[in-house]
Amino acid sequence: MTRIPEHDRNIMEQAIYLPMVLTVLHKDLMVINNSPFKLKKPYLDLIEETMKVIQRELSEAKKYMRTNKLQVMQTKRDDAFTMFLFLYKGYEEHHNYFNPRIRNKVQELMDYYFIQRHLSGNRNKTEAF
């Protein structure tokens, strides 16, 4: 059982997932730039604006983590699982994440940032986690 409250664990998971979302979006930007789209600008603008929002939220998560003495570090990775070490106010917890679950969560977050956050403007960002 975890000693980490749900809110803090959600913030720590943001520190795992949001950099992955940024990596995917950065690669997508490169693909769009090198593809024969007739009108690239709307796609580029959408991705760049989404990246700015994610970077801002990641910055807030990291600030919260620094203030509250929280850390997340990837310790192991294989074909099926990735293990993270969560440091929470002096406690250590190892959390194993199934790699397809990570991929699905990143996809879910992309859906949220591209579509759902615009449809439900009053939704709290940590509800995506």
Spatial contact of 4 and 119, defined as CB atoms under 8 Å apart? no
Q: What Rg, from alpha-carbon coordinates, does the chain have?
A: 16
Predicted TM-score (pTM) of the model is: 0.88
- DSSP secondary structure of 37-80: -S--HHHHHHHHHHHHHHHHHHHHHHHHHHHTTEEEEEEEE-SS
The predicted pLDDT at position 119 comes to: 85
The domain segmentation of the chain, as residue ranges, is: 6-120
pLDDT one-digit tens code per residue, 55-76: 999 999 999 999 999 999 999 9
Contact 111, 123 (CB under 8 A): no
